[in-house]
Amino acid sequence: GNSVTQMEGPVTLSEEAFLTINCTYTATGYPSLFWYVQYPGEGLQLLLKATKADDKGSNKGFEATYRKETTSFHLEKGSVQVSDSAVYFCALRRQGAQKLVFGQGTRLTINP
Amino acid sequence: GAGVSQSPRYKVAKRGQDVALRCDPISGHVSLFWYQQALGQGPEFLTYFQNEAQLDKSGLPSDRFFAERPEGSVSTLKIQRTQQEDSAVYLCASSLLAGLQETQYFGPGTRLLVL
C-alpha cells in the first residue's frame, strides 16, 4: 500500500544550523509529495509540494526535491530560525486519489 | 478571509456517549475531508465529500462513525457509543475544487478525549 516514513524526532538544533528531515515513501505510480507544518496551537499548513519526479518545492527558505529513484522527499533548510520550531509532516497523494497519506511527523525545536 | 473552522475545539466524553463534531469549510470550497490524528502520529484519512456527496468513506474505522454534509457546506462527524480508542484530534480540511492539484486547507482540529 501507500505509506510515508519520516525520520524520528524530536530534532533539536541551534539557530542558523542546517536542517534535514528525511522522508521516504512507498507508492505505485507517480504520487504528489507534500510537506505540511503545524505550528504550536495552529492547524496544518502546506509548506511546499512537488508533483513529478525531479521537481523541487520551495517556500520560506525550505526546499525538498522529488527523487523517484530513491523514493525520497527530504526537507532541507540552510539556516533555521527559532520561529521554525514546529511539527513537520511529509505526505503523499496517490495518482488519481484525493486523500493525503501522512508520515508520523517530526517535532523540530530551534534554540536561540 | 476566514479559514476552516471547527467546533468544539475540545470535547470530553464518557465512554458510551455520542458526540458530534462540526466543520465549517472555507466558503465556496467544494471538497471536504476528515482526518483522525492520534497522539504523536500523523493524520489518517477518514472520509471525503465533494459538495454533498460522500465519495470515499473507506477510512471510517467502524460503523459507529458517520459523517454528513447535507447542503454541501458545513459537515458533521458523528461518533456513536464512543470508546477510549476514539480519543484523538479530528481534523477537517477543505479545498476549492475537486481537482487533484488542489491544496487542502486544514482547520485547527477538535481534540476528543473519551474517559
Span B80-95, pLDDT tens digits:
999 999 999 999 999 9
Distance CA B34, CA B112 (A): 14
Residue A110, pLDDT > 80, answer: yes
Pairing status of strand A32-38 against strand B19-24: unpaired
Give pLDDT tens digits for B5-51: 999 999 999 999 999 999 999 999 999 999 999 998 999 999 999 99
> For residue A102, which of A25, A8, A20 has the smallest C-alpha distance?
A25
Distances (CA, A) of A22 to A58, A67, B67, B101: 16, 12, 35, 24
**Range A49-62 average pLDDT:** 95
Distance CA B83, CA A72 (A): 37
**Range A71-75 average pLDDT:** 97
B96 touches chain A (CB under 8 A): no
Q: Would you state the pLDDT for residue A28?
A: 86
- Band the pLDDT of B100: cuts 50, 70, 90: low
Residues of chain A in contact with residue B41, where contact means CB-CB under 8 angstroms, are: 104-105
How far is the alpha carbon of B24 from chain A, nearest alpha carbon, in Å? 14
- Band the pLDDT of B97: cuts 50, 70, 90: confident
Distance CA A19, CA A80 (A): 7
Out of B3, B101, B105, name the one closest to residue A51 (CB). Answer: B101
**Range B48-75 average pLDDT:** 96
Q: Do A105 and B107 touch (CB under 8 A)?
A: no
Report how far apart the first and last C-alpha atoms of chain B are (Å, whole number): 37
**Range A79-96 average pLDDT:** 94
Out of B31, B91, B107, name the one closest to residue A98 (CB). Answer: B31
**Range A35-51 average pLDDT:** 93
Residue B1, pLDDT > 60, answer: no
Is residue B35 packed enough to be buried (19+ CB in 10 Å), middle (13-18) or exposed (0-12)?
Answer: buried
Q: Would you state the pLDDT for residue B108?
A: 93
Q: Would you state the pLDDT for residue A40?
A: 86
- Band the pLDDT of A97: cuts 50, 70, 90: confident
Q: Would you state the pLDDT for residue A7?
A: 85
Percentage, residues of chain A above pLDDT 90 = 85
Percentage, residues of chain A above pLDDT 70 = 100
- Band the pLDDT of A6: cuts 50, 70, 90: very high
Q: Is B25 left (phi over 0), alpha (psi -120 to 50) or beta?
A: beta
Q: Do B43 and A103 touch (CB under 8 A)?
A: no
Q: Which of residues 32-91 of B touch A (CB under 8 A)?
A: 33, 35, 40-45, 48, 55-56, 59, 91
User: The C-alpha cell of B17 is what?
Assistant: 456517549
Greatest alpha-carbon pair distance for chain B in Å reads 40
